[in-house]
A = this chain, B = another copy of it.
Amino acid sequence: MSARAGIVVTGTEVLTGRVSDRNGPWLAERLRELGVDIAFTTIVGDRPEDMRAALEFMAARELDVILTSGGLGPTADDLTAEVVGRFQGREMVLDEELERRIEDILRPLAKRFPNIDMDAVRHGNRKQATIPAGAALLGPVGTAPGLVVTPADARPGPTVVVLPGPPRELQPMWSEALATSELRGALRDAATLEQSTLRLFGIPESEIAETLRAASREGVPLQRLEITTCLKRAEVEVVTRYEPAAADDYEAFVELVRERHRDSLFSTDGSTVDEQVAALLRGDGHAQPRRTVATAESCTGGLLAARLTDVPGSSEYFKGAIVAYSNEAKVALAGVKESLIERCGAVSEEVACALARGACSRLHADVGVGITGIAGPGGGSESKPVGLVWLSVALAEQTGYREPLTRSVELPGARADVRERSTSIAMHLLRRTLQTR
């Protein structure tokens, strides 16, 4: 049996939806890599009784480990250390050495904010140095130390790992936590669980459901595979968890999916379309030449460029982008002919192609992507409704431009959905162009 874990995310700002939580998903991924099974993530506000109830709930479900994030700051509403200390039956004590270390960390802050109230800083500092007796210390990376707190007096119960809210503090502290004997002890029974991901583009989720039923008809055994499917940015993701002994079953399942969905299945090794496009542009494996890319975007407003440059090292192959929101900009920057816009409209196959070619020529790139559409909520018409997007990928060759790969889609959803899905579809068109030509 693998170890089971829960995550408690604290903070009224997260609970009430003002801040979206990045720590829960990140910690869940780390647990999965360790083969630890995650059972619950609970978000609670800055109320000690609710936080306590969440801890008790997870203890009652016999989880081995609970991770908390947030509530370690210098302000009075930051209560996690104290709630966890009491939950584990431990006194709160001031750690004077820790107090001095935090003081050293805070000194540069005083330089950055010359008018800062140092009494205020010291008050918060002392609060952050007051920790459950006997807890293992992590960090601090920022000013808040993390903690690993086992139940007092060797009582049974989960080990609680207390981590700060800012991801850049939490993430390095998690590695530190893993090195403590306390957490290693709690996780010692963890079995390795494999997790593998298939990604498909261009089919509805129901087709995968049917393939799962077909598996049982055709005698492909799925009992030892925990398969979940979900729609994600215009893709279907099929994630399977299994014990190493079931690896053959998983291979048989992949074979079946490959057979039934050859055209849609684009990833069996966990890679995303973003990673595949980056590898193709870099010329990894040398099946294709190295190529540079540029975009000319209207309705996506720079989102595709932002997505392409999200990858570290993208400056190697990303030349730049033109966000041509106004027709004026389409003409002046991307070289689209004014007469073409007048004749076909700004949202049209012709303008998408012209944008793709303009991106190539103006930015001296090997591949150009053009996007033009109606993201809404306004601007739609009977013939060109909200959600209509034209996308085009042009490849510049020394022999002149080949015919660009151009598609139109009618996307459902609100403005943000239309914009995001458009970038996904553009990535897939880009991938196909780079792979086949």
Binding site for B on A (CB under 8 A): 11-13, 15-20, 22, 24-29, 32, 38-46, 50, 53-54, 57, 61, 73-77, 109, 113, 116-117, 119-121, 123-124, 166-168, 195, 197, 203-210, 212-213, 226-232, 237, 239, 294-295, 297, 300-306, 308-310, 312-315, 318-326, 328-329, 332-333, 362-364, 376-379, 412-417, 419
Say whether A210 contacts B40, CB under 8 Å.
no
- Chain B residues with CB under 8 Å of A239's CB are 12-13, 16, 18
Copies in the assembly, this chain:
2
- Chain B residues with CB under 8 Å of A205's CB are 73-75
A-B contact pairs, 24 of them (CB 8 A): A11-B230, A15-B28, A16-B28, A16-B32, A18-B25, A18-B232, A41-B43, A53-B61, A75-B209, A76-B212, A113-B204, A116-B206, A117-B206, A121-B206, A123-B213, A301-B305, A301-B306, A302-B302, A303-B306, A310-B419, A320-B322, A321-B322, A323-B323, A333-B333
Given contacts A18-B232, A73-B205, A309-B323, 11 further A-B contacts (CB under 8 A): A16-B239, A19-B232, A39-B44, A117-B206, A117-B210, A120-B209, A120-B213, A295-B323, A301-B309, A318-B325, A326-B363
Q: Of all chain B residues, which has the CB nearest A25?
A: B17
Given the interface pairs A15-B28, A16-B28, A18-B232, the reply to whether A120 lies near B210 with Cβ below 8 Å is yes
Say whether B333 contacts A324, CB under 8 Å.
no
Which one of B77, B329, B362 lies within 8 Å of A320 (CB-CB)?
B329
Say whether A75 contacts B229, CB under 8 Å.
yes
- Chain B residues with CB under 8 Å of A213's CB are 120, 123
Say whether B333 contacts A362, CB under 8 Å.
yes
Say whether B41 contacts A168, CB under 8 Å.
no
- Chain B residues with CB under 8 Å of A15's CB are 28, 38, 40-41
Q: Return A96 CB to nearest CB of chain B, in Å.
A: 20
Q: Return A7 CB to nearest CB of chain B, in Å.
A: 8
Say whether A310 contacts B301, CB under 8 Å.
yes
- Chain B residues with CB under 8 Å of A11's CB are 228, 230
Report the separation of the CA atoms of residues A376 and B314 in the bound assembly, to the nearest whole angstrom: 11
Report the separation of the CA atoms of residues A90 and B183 in the bound assembly, to the nearest whole angstrom: 43
Say whether A13 contacts B319, CB under 8 Å.
no
